[in-house]
Amino acid sequence: MIKEGKIAAALITDIPEIDPGSGGLIGTITVKFTDIAGVDRWVQKTGQWKRLDLPKTGDAATVLYDPQYPENNSRIWIGPAGSTTIADFT
């Protein structure tokens, strides 16, 4: 993935809203991205965010994926919008 992974812009299509008294979220995020073949793909991942870092549905994100197997969810990582290097996903 370090040499051959592709980075693509993504859109958060679903993330739970948190209770006003909560300090953060451990939950599932769903993002949509388009692979290099032009196929729209959705991926769900579980993550942890502090309240101040919590994205919302409709926010931009970035994904790192394996272009040979873009459907393989275990080889897709979600990063913040503007991620441009593989190091941004670690």
Separation of alpha carbons 15 and 62, rounded Å: 15
Q: For the whole model, what pTM was predicted?
A: 0.88
More confidently predicted of 40 and 4: 40
In this predicted structure, what is the pLDDT of residue 3? Answer: 74
Q: What is the mean pLDDT of residues 7-23?
A: 93
Whether 2 shows a pLDDT value over 90: the answer reads no
Separation of alpha carbons 5 and 59, rounded Å: 23
In this predicted structure, what is the pLDDT of residue 28? Answer: 95
For the sheet with 76-80, list strands across it: 40-50, 24-34, 6-14, 60-65, 76-80
Separation of alpha carbons 12 and 19, rounded Å: 19
1 pLDDT tier (thresholds 50, 70, 90): low
pLDDT tens string 21-68: 888 999 999 999 999 999 999 999 999 999 888 899 999 999 999 999
